[in-house]
Structure 1
Amino acid sequence: MKLLGKVLFGVIVMFFGLSLFRCSQQSAFTEAISYEADQAIKNNDYTFFKSIFSERAKDDLLTEVVKDENDEVLFNLNLFLVGSQHNSSIIFLVDSYSKDPRPEALKLVVKTNKESALEYDLVSLGKENWYLQWLHLDNLYLEQAFMEDIIDFKVKDGDKVLYDFNDELGALITANEANIQAYVKKENVAVTYIKETINKDTAVIDEAVSEKGTEKTYKQTFNITLSEETDKEIYVVGNFNNYDLTDKTYELTKDKKKNLVYTGTFDITTDDKDLYYYVLVGDEIVSKEGLAKQFTRTYISQETELIDVNIETVKPVKLNKYQYKIWITMIVYLVIAALSMWAIFFRKKKPVRARYSKQASTPEKEPEKPRENLNLRSIGDIEERDEDLQVHEKETIISVPIEDIEEVEENEE
């Protein structure tokens, strides 16, 4: 039981230690973000926000001064497209909000092409007037792959809408444009969400022509997500097969792990710099507002520089200013855990000293020795002794003739 107790205690210490480490790590990271962001807002320099990740789009996704109904400035709104080999993200930054007192958080509502709304908090972490949130797009496109474009978003203070993106000009960003992660990894991945279709025979196909370059062979992957189940064939056509709608060479197969996702990887040899393609579902073609929808993405090879696809590589800002707090927390925790384990399992208890009463105590009587029980062997010895005595008595009897007895009696007379 003592060994089992040690094992259970060790498991508990490890579990709480890992939880404490994660919490302290998150706390140190948040504190570092708060400090660096405060300095950036003071200096009116957004470089820090665009340098949280190792890569970023060359051009800001959105920069706007938001005004209220009286044409007075409400706040500054900036969106940055950033990423790395592990994710693609959009950073939403609101600063200089004119409301006083200002709230601790604002609401960010993002609408996708699937007509689903994702709600997040724009949080204020520092002392200065700013709100921050970043949306990881790899969870949306590469893992779950449930939407094509971010078509709209709103910034709200409680129930009041402070800003509503004008989606009449088109989507905020398409899936292919947002997929920085694939570019950084030098992978050609085209992502498409299917919502509407029309008959391909009545569709007008725009046979777009790409700028030419050096002929290369690209390993191109298509990830297509459906809005509902279908038993029809799904395939792609484009400038790589002269927009031949009858060519089913590039047919996709259903992904066994992801529901409603079809995928396919093909070798495409071309001198085009950009990929243009359409998606067909049986005899229908993917459309938007009654027109066949064309998708595009720039090819990338191992020799391609990221700047050629409008992506800059930056040195990520170091957010380790408060890392020492993690180690202080963990050292204190380990010391407490070690002392607790020593006190419970390893500390030797002091022997209890006998206490004597000052009053004289009466001597105790010596207990009587209990009588020994006779065993069978002792009984046998006694019986054998009695038999010997009887034999001895018999042997000492003297036999005297009758004549001698009579003679003795006469002499006595």
Structure 2
Amino acid sequence: MSVQEGFLERVFKLKENNTTVRTEVLAGFTTFMTMAYIIFVNPTILSTTGMDFNAVLVATILASVIGTLLMAFLANYPIAVAPGMGLNAFFAFTIVKQMGYPWEAALAAVFMSGIIFIILTLTKAREAIVNSIPLSLKLAISAGIGLFIALIGLQSAGIVVSNPDTLVQLGNLRDPSVLLAVIGLIITAALVGLRVKGALLLGIIITTLLGIPLGVTKLEGLKIVSLPPSLAPTFGAFRLGLGDLLAAGIIPVIFTLTFVDLFDTLGTLIGVSSKAGFLDEKGHLPRAGQALMSDAIATTCGAILGTSTCVAYIESASGVAEGGRTGLTALVVGLLFLASLFFSPLVGIVPAVATAPVLVIVGIFMMEPIMKIDFSNFLEAAPAFLTITIMPFTYDIAEGIVWGVLAYVFLNLITGNAKKISLTMWILAVLFVIRFFM
């Protein structure tokens, strides 16, 4: 064993987790490829508020590096952290455009929610929430995320599109982008079925290359290397908006940011951990505190740098599906994010339709825990079913958890099984009900 391998073994406990350096590196590349879109999508959304696109791009990358490396070394989990989709839209279109706050105030709200996360994590409140959720709901969260991530993939591929009458419908299969996604799905599924090592990453690469003659993969004017833009326009700008936090209207904003990030991250941690086999015999997640601290610090640092709330990414499931089991996978993702500061044009050539098939297949993998749910017991089945279905139907992981928890508490209360409900679950149910009226 080389010195480098010995160091990685000591830090990440590869043998204990039944994995190898090669497997972890491959898993890291796969996770990065499936979530690299955030490098460009996040600044696109936030720049609608007047924020500098290039500065947000750098802030997005640096916040992702911070959160993902913390996840690697503090928690030793193969889970990546980056500014969350949905939360960035809430930042731009609700806080700034609808409510009328300047983007500096929105950053201040993100900063304050990050501080709240750190306090909740230090007091082990977030860890208590993770461990108090019943095992049946944890298994349901994994399956719900599976449907959700598959929907994201089908939507990114253009295979599923919106319809004003039926909400959704089949996309135009004659469109070159959609056709490429279908071909990519077939190729990637075949590689997985043949048990080819690195099937998901190989599927992304092949689909990207096939997109060149179809005109989907754009190579015109491609630069391989470029210097990172300046961070100055957004760095520390949150301080200018701290005064707005004294306004009464900002309190619900901070609460919403805190709530959504809390349960998005919890959902991802539980879902990915359930699939990877990290949960212990009681359904508890070891090192949950360290994992939650990673996204709390990333959110706080991200606000200082100039980006929206950071969360654990459901696309991490793609790396887990490739065999990633330790923080070495996250370390690779973090280093690839760091490299993207200089190779962002190269990263940007991978079209969304090339990564979409991977998300669909990962959705299939995430459904496995559903077989462990006792659907013959209605008190277990109903909350689990709501958790699974609400996530994709509302396009929100947090809402799936909310409805699952409420159904579990109320059904057990009404049927005389109140002793099964933990104090933490009671508190969550009350907070969820209050939230509906805020």
State the TM-score, normalized to the length of structure 1: 0.19
Report which of the two structures shows the higher radius of gyration computed on alpha carbons.
1
What is the TM-score normalised by the length of structure 2?
0.19
